[in-house]
Amino acid sequence: MSPLREALAGYLAIRRSLGYKLARAEKLLSQLITYLETAGAATVTTEHALAWATLPRGDARWHADRLTVARRFAIYLQAIDPATEVPPAGLIPSRPCRATPYLYSDIDIAALISAADGLRFPLRAATYQALISLLAVTGLRVGEAIRLNGADLDFARGVLTVRASKFGKTRLVPLHPTAVAGLRGYLRLRGQLHPHPGSPAVFISPAGTRLLYCNVHATFRQLARQAGLHPRSASCRPRIHDLRHSFAVRSLLDAYAAGQDGQARLTLLSTYLGHADPASTYWYLSAAPELLALAGQRLEDHLREQP
């Protein structure tokens, strides 16, 4: 193993001990080291890091993200090798552009599930129908759902365990009885179509392996097109992660409709979604005009009651 790859292993071990997963960073930094080795460079330099970051075709934001990954590694590496150069911050200017949530209606979700019925293999169709359904009714992150193992399902209590999620946290997620029934049905069908999978994963491919994150996203884009879901703007496109946004918004709308304290429900929702800070959940308030209107109406009613 080369000194650079040894340094990368140490860098990843330290940051992962702090709760970072770094799956993408590991892949990108391995590519950076391959680039440096090909160029005959013994360490990271600003020139090489910039050339590598801008090498693939893409927009400025993607290039800036790649350079940021290289820069963080270079900061660590400089403590080991003083010859390492740390690329200056902001070397590739880019403006952050947060995607506008694509909020799915019940009809949209039904269309996605119906589109999944047309996938090539019966097990693949059943898997994506069950996966989309679970994401829609729990707000799980996609990565959390595809990491679920059979041992994480407690049907007797109607609870699933999400392990080692963001920042290494584990949480319990209560399920509605209909969600429990849906998962039971999927597992029965899965057992008939593939009795001996090679993975303990709940959601498996036709080969019996755990679903891959990139393949799930690609398949969802295909299903969205087949379901007739089109972008609403340049920053508002159908994404599988927006099933989580839609769940959060619907939960808050239901709370307001039931006359409940939205602030109290928001705190509970933050815990249910696995947010480290309730401030992360507040962003959902701006995702739907209906929520802003209800919040404004509550404020107006409160002010009207004041002397």
- For 171, the 3-state DSSP assignment is strand
10 Å CB burial of residue 122 (0-12, 13-18, 19+) is middle
Q: How does DSSP classify residue 83? A: T
Question: What is the gyration radius of the CA atoms in the chain, in angstroms?
Answer: 23
Among this protein's residues, is 241 annotated catalytic? yes
Among this protein's residues, is 166 annotated catalytic? yes
Q: How many CB atoms sit inside 10 A of residue 260's CB? A: 13
Q: Which residues contact 115 (CB under 8 A, 6 or more apart)?
A: 223, 224, 226, 227
Q: Which of 16, 72, 163, 241 is catalytic?
A: 241
**Contact (Cβ atoms closer than 8 angstroms) between residue 204 and residue 210:** yes
Among this protein's residues, is 141 annotated catalytic? yes
Q: How far apart, in whole angstroms, are the C-alpha atoms of residue 178 and residue 191?
A: 20
Q: Which residues contact 59 (CB under 8 A, 6 or more apart)?
A: 94
Q: Which of 124, 141, 147, 210 is catalytic?
A: 141
Q: How many CB atoms sit inside 10 A of residue 111's CB? A: 18
Among this protein's residues, is 284 annotated catalytic? yes
The region, left, alpha or beta by phi > 0 then psi within -120 to 50, assigned to residue 235 is alpha
Q: How far apart, in whole angstroms, are the C-alpha atoms of residue 267 and residue 171?
A: 15
Strand order, beta sheet including 153-154? 153-154, 159-162, 171-174
With tokens 């295909």, the residue in question is: 222
Among this protein's residues, is 35 annotated catalytic? no
Among this protein's residues, is 171 annotated catalytic? no
**Contact (Cβ atoms closer than 8 angstroms) between residue 275 and residue 167:** no
Q: Which of 63, 210, 244, 250 is catalytic?
A: 244
Q: How far is CA 212 from the centre of its chain?
A: 13
Q: Which of 166, 171, 221, 265 is catalytic?
A: 166
Catalytic residues: 141, 166, 241, 244, 275, 284
